[in-house]
Amino acid sequence: MPNPTNGGTCLLPVGTVTRAMHAKEVLAHGGIAAIVVRNDPAATGSGCAYAVSYACGREREVRRLLRAAGIRPYGGKRI
């Protein structure tokens, strides 16, 4: 699990397991540790069953990297 020292751990739903694995690779290339987690689709409110988890202190970088890679996250939350 990513180190939660910089503001906790965040969860960003991305959709399918394939997209989540791609997001993890994109983040790793950007120097951000992340893991793929399975969500409860009912809890997300959007039906997205897979997400990436990372240190919340890297939120801006995470969203920038994913956006540049064409990965559209669905919401997000601190866990």
Mean pLDDT of the chain: 84
- What region does 10 belong to: left with phi over 0, alpha with psi -120 to 50, or beta? beta
Using one digit for the tens of pLDDT, what is the confidence trace for 13-56?
Answer: 888 899 999 999 999 999 999 999 998 766 556 666 899 999 99
Confidence of residue 3 (pLDDT cuts 50, 70, 90): very low
pLDDT, residue 15, reads 84
**Does residue 75 have a pLDDT over 90?**
no
- Which fold does the domain 9-78 belong to in CATH? Alpha-Beta Plaits (3.30.70)
pTM higher than the cut 0.85? no
Domain spans, the chain? 9-78
